[in-house]
A and B are shown apart, each in its own frame.
Chain A
Amino acid sequence: MDDLGDPPKINVREPSPGIGSGFLGEYWQSQRSLPRIQGPEVGIYYLQQGVRTITALPGSSIISVLTIAVSLFLLAGFLLILQNVGGLLTEAGSTLFVTAYIQDEAKPTDVSAFVRKLENSEKVHSAIFVSKEKALELFREDMGTRSGFLEGLEERNPLPASVDITLKPDDVSGSSVESLLEGLRAHSVVEELVYGSEWVERMEGIVKVFRAFGLISLLVALGIIMFLISNTIKLVIYARRDEIGIMQLVGASDSFVRIPFIIGGLLQGLVGSLFGIILLRIGFWLVNLEVRNSTVFGVALPELAFLSFWTVFALTVIGLLVGAFGSFFALRKFMNV
């Protein structure tokens, strides 16, 4: 009570009759200052009021929480699909076989050195030398009963010797592959390199496009979700606009009005996002179970992975922030009394 200066000291000369007599004068004249909440009590008070903003309108709060839960479920589900499809694509493009055909006139010692060098390379998983004779033998096996036309080719074997190279999956990324292939191509014993270059490029292209599309879709989804949640929260706050106005008219500061709503938004965001993620985890478990039991996908697909702890953590934080910011911005409109 320090804003309007000290009131003049006027004693109650006579008690008023009827209702109110006695108490008011005694209370007014008492100079006792009223005990205030302070320190941790302030935090507890705001937390209680935050919970109250949720429980005061339970129906609206449930709608808010469900909106956040469904939004986060969709967002997290989208991330999960991105992560697993991206993983599958990367894996599909990560096993690269290269065949290096050896020049006929290459010296055996140079070829042996070439193979040894490959075997010792960190980027190479295996390097198997296939001689001209072995190549013909393998060709003959491939031809099976129709291999008769290969008779007599032993004398003038047209098939070149080769080295079958399998690269390590970790090293099959664009620039790494390119540099390795350039090195092989430039080697003196190598006649020609054959590998699924188009496949590699296509897979890399697909993964890039998928990731770019995923990122854009994620941002759009995030924007839509924020809009959706903030509008739901706005409706809840709209229902309490009179109350907010009255609070301000009796002297509540902006922070006094705002903080409980922001805490309420945070709590709704927390509950909503956890609820959404738990739903997704259950859904994921069911889908994974189906995939594993499927005769078609069970063998073809690798184990699907759920979102990492940090992704779940980030999604929960997004839920919290969306709840809090949604409340903050929705309140601005009604805090002009």
Chain B
Amino acid sequence: MSAQPNSRDMISLYHVDKVYPPNQMALRDIDVTINRGEFVFVAGASGAGKSTLLKLLFAEERASRGQVLVGGRNLVTISRPQKAALRRNVGVIFQDYKLLETRSVLENVAFALEVIGVKKRERFQLAFKMLSAIGLKERIHALPPTLSGGEQQRVSIARALINRPQLILADEPTGNLDPDMTIAVFNLLLEANRCGATVIVASHNLTLIEEINKRTLVLDKGRLIGDFERPKG
């Protein structure tokens, strides 16, 4: 089946398989469309394929079969320069934070602006505001290894949001956060979503998913077994 993306579609997956060598089927025949401006949870147990699905959406991994379209661009055939351009429009919150260890918190957040060539003064001002907004004003000069897991997660979130990305991918963004900080982080993501960003959050926290009450895709052993528009109705 050939891909027929709609202009409203931010993400379209057509019969996507992902096999890791030698023969580990991480995703199997995924068929799903996500519209621009949606807030979507990807739920499932550990090993269900949530992280792999997210990795396909910013071209960290390539689908073994099928087509992955993000913003109308097919990521299966994407070139390296296009891949970089795509990632500059996608804010990714990594489960393992992926912070630059030799750069300060401020520099890490500003780095997302640095790669698009924003002037130094501007990028540091914005990074400072963003870090202030997520309660890390006092830690701007610290190096990531000296931060707690929760603090590193928030730096990762600040970096993902500072570019005003049209697509935000969050892989267990609150896994290391206490309940209060979890709510605060989701408020940020919801705010970004209200501003127009499409947000996809991989989580196995069903309580949280129920509470936030957004469209939820459920994966099990690499298969999409459920697509609930509004779980609570």
Which residues of chain B are near A16, meaning CB under 8 Å? 187-188, 190-191
Q: Are A27 and B129 in contact (CB under 8 A)?
A: yes
Chain A residues with Cβ under 8 A from B163's Cβ?
1
B98→A246 contact, CB < 8 A: yes
Q: Interface digits, A207-241 against B, CB 8 Å rule (1 contact, 0 not)?
A: 00000000000000000000000000000000000
A4 to chain B, nearest CB (A): 3
Q: Of B111, B118, B119, which contacts A250 at CB under 8 A?
A: B111
Evaluate contact between A28 and B196: CB separation under 8 angstroms: yes
Measured between beta carbons, the chain A residues less than 8 angstroms from B58 are: 249
> Quick check: is B197 within 8 A (CB to CB) of the other chain?
yes
Tell me whether chain A's interface is mostly helix, strand or loop, or mixed. Answer: loop
Contact A35 B118 (CB under 8 A): yes
Q: Is the CB of A34 within 8 A of B195?
A: no
Q: Number of residues in B with C-beta < 8 Å to the partner?
A: 64
A250 to chain B, nearest CB (A): 5
Kindly identify, within residues 23 to 56 of chain A, every residue whose CB is under 8 Å from any CB belonging to chain B. 23-25, 27-29, 34-38, 41-42, 56
Give bound CA distance, A37 to B117, whole Å: 6
Q: Considering the chains assembled together, what is the distance between the CA atoms of A23 and B117 in angstroms?
A: 22
Are A20 and B134 neighbours in the complex by a CB distance under 8 Å?
Answer: yes
Q: Does A201 contact B (CB under 8 A)?
A: no
Q: How far is the CB of B124 from chain A (nearest CB, A)?
A: 12
Neighbouring B residues of A36 by C-beta, 8 Å: 116-119
Contact yes or no, B132 A23, CB < 8 A:
yes
Given contacts A28-B164, A251-B85, contact A20 B195 (CB under 8 A): no
A282 within 8 A of partner (CB): no
A192 adjacent to chain B (CB < 8 Å): no
Is B214's beta carbon under 8 Å from chain A? no
| Contact yes or no, B119 A5, CB < 8 A | no
* CB-contact partner of B92 in A17, A242, A245, A250, under 8 A: A250
Residue from B80, B112, B185, B194 within 8 A of A25 (CB atoms): B194
When C-beta atoms are compared, the residue in chain A nearest to B117 turns out to be: A36
Q: How far is the CA of A164 from the CA of B100 in the complex (A)?
A: 82
Q: How close is B198's CB to chain A, nearest CB, in angstroms?
A: 8
CB contact between A34 and one of B73, B113, B181 (< 8 Å): that residue: B113
B87–A12 touching, CB < 8 Å: no
The smallest beta-carbon distance between B90 and chain A, in angstroms, is: 8
Distance between B168 CB and nearest chain A CB, rounded to angstroms: 11
- Decide: A19 near B100, CB < 8 A? Known: A8-B37, A13-B194: no
Distance (whole angstroms) from the CB of A115 to the closest CB of chain B: 80
- With A19-B184, A21-B187, A249-B60 known to touch, is A1 a contact of B166 (CB < 8 Å)? yes
Is A337's CB within 8 Å of the partner chain B? yes
The reply to whether the CB of A256 lies closer than 8 angstroms to some CB of chain B is yes
Check if A18 is an interface residue, CB within 8 A of chain B.
Answer: yes
Would B84 and A5 count as touching, CB distance under 8 A? Answer: no
B175: chain A residues within 8 A (beta carbon): none
Chain B residues 119-156 with CB under 8 Å of chain A are 119-120, 122-123, 126, 129-130, 132-135
> Quick one: given A28-B164, A37-B119, are A20 and B188 in contact (CB under 8 Å)?
yes
The interface residues of chain A lying within 8 Å CB-to-CB of B164 are 1, 27-28
> Ordered nearest first, which 8 A-B pairs have the shortest CB separation?
A4-B71, A251-B88, A28-B195, A251-B87, A16-B187, A7-B196, A19-B184, A20-B188
Other A-B contacts than A4-B10, A24-B195, A242-B101, 6 sampled, CB-CB below 8 A, are A4-B71, A7-B37, A23-B129, A25-B194, A28-B192, A37-B119
- Complex A-B: 25 CB contacts under 8 Å: A1-B164, A3-B71, A4-B70, A4-B72, A7-B37, A15-B191, A20-B187, A20-B191, A23-B132, A24-B133, A25-B195, A28-B191, A34-B118, A34-B123, A36-B116, A37-B119, A41-B119, A242-B101, A243-B100, A245-B98, A247-B100, A250-B112, A251-B84, A251-B89, A252-B115
